[in-house]
């Protein structure tokens, strides 16, 4: 009887974690460039044990870790001159207080000092690792498909290149053998601000075969309807484990207080 309680309770732990991951995906479904998260579950090993007649390790949490789906999101038009969408592989480089981090969110703007920044106020870096400054005399700078930012100085009437957006890629993200060998050590991990942080020693290189679209943003790759279906499914399964615990608790109570009573 006590074993049954442990089994039901151990099944509730990963469901609670999955619910949190799904809720986070839904909360960020409108954030440009957001990539949905999922969880690794220890299912294959447990299934092998059952098929071989071995006893599954029900006493431990089957949650192994999380992973991020970097599938390309849809691109939508905004018309804002500092909004840029990245089509293809790569990430924009951002200078944060914790060091250089990476993002797919191209919602940029020009701050009071003329620096190109993210919504959190962090400077966007060029391919040389420097901040990009847009002088006040440049009214409508143009960002081409390769990320080069240029404009016309209205005072002098001269076209000038202001810099090229740094677009960095991580080849190990696409290495199927590496992902199979180290599925629980992601190449990029999400920081508390939503930007990506590469693991130490991860190979970095300039991205290739990408295009930048000015006046557009990449939407998140969260499918809201699918995430809602998953949330309902996980909630129902969690409820079933709760009911199982209640039934076993009531049965245990009767066994101790009624069946064991001496008449």
Domain of residue 248, residue span = 1-74+234-256
Sign of the dihedral defined by the CA atoms of residues 137, 149, 196, 79, in that order: positive
What SS3 string covers 200-223?
CCCCCEECCCCEEEECEEECCCCC
In a domain, 223, yes or no: no
β-pairing, 109-110 vs 116-117, is antiparallel
In a domain, 227, yes or no: no
Indicate if 136 and 252 belong to the same structural domain. Answer: no
Closest-CA residue to 8 (of 239, 252, 260):
239
Indicate if 41 and 133 belong to the same structural domain. Answer: no
Q: Please write the tens of the pLDDT for every residue from 125-165.
A: 999 999 999 988 787 889 999 999 988 776 666 778 899 99
pLDDT of residue 82: 94
Mean pLDDT, residues 67-91 taken together: 94
The answer to which of 34-38, 168-172, 243-247 has the lowest mean pLDDT is 243-247
Q: Does the pLDDT value for residue 39 go beyond 70?
A: yes
Indicate the number of domains in the chain. Answer: 2
* Contact yes or no for 62/46 (Cβ under 8 A): yes
Q: pLDDT > 90: what percent of the chain?
A: 48
Indicate if 40 and 98 belong to the same structural domain. Answer: no
Closest-CA residue to 74 (of 217, 178, 208):
217
What SS3 string covers 112-130?
CCCEEECCCCCEEEECCCC
Mean pLDDT, residues 92-114 taken together: 95
Higher pLDDT, 64 or 68: 68
Indicate if 96 and 206 belong to the same structural domain. Answer: yes
Higher pLDDT, 209 or 243: 209
* pTM of the entire predicted model: 0.79
In a domain, 252, yes or no: yes
Indicate if 9 and 137 belong to the same structural domain. Answer: no
Indicate if 80 and 52 belong to the same structural domain. Answer: no
């Amino acid at each position: 009887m006590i074993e049954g309680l442990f089994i039901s309770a151990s099944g509730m732990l990963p469901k609670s974690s999955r619910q949190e991951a799904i809720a986070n995906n839904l909360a960020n479904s409108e954030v440009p460039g957001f990539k949905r998260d999922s969880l690794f579950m220890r299912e294959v090993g447990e299934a092998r044990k059952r098929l071989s007649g071995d006893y599954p390790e029900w006493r431990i949490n089957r949650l192994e870790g999380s992973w991020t789906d970097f599938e390309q999101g849809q691109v939508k038009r905004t018309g804002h001159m500092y909004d840029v969408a990245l089509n293809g592989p790569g990430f924009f480089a951002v200078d944060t207080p914790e060091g250089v981090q990476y993002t797919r969110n191209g919602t940029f703007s020009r701050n009071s000092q003329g620096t190109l920044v993210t919504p959190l106020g962090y400077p966007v870096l060029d391919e040389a690792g420097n901040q990009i400054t847009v002088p006040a005399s440049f009214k409508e700078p143009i960002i081409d498909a390769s990320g080069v930012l240029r404009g016309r100085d209205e005072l002098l009437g001269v076209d000038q290149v202001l810099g090229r957006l740094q677009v960095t890629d991580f080849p190990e993200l696409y290495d199927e053998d590496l992902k199979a060998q180290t599925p629980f050590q992601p190449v990029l991990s999400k920081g508390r601000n939503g930007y990506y942080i590469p693991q130490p020693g991860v190979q970095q290189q300039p991205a290739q075969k990408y295009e930048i679209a000015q006046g557009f943003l990449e939407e998140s790759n969260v499918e809201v309807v699918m995430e809602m279906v998953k949330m309902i499914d996980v909630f129902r399964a969690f409820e079933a484990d709760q009911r199982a615990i209640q039934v076993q608790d009531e049965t245990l109570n009767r066994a101790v207080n009624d069946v064991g009573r001496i008449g």
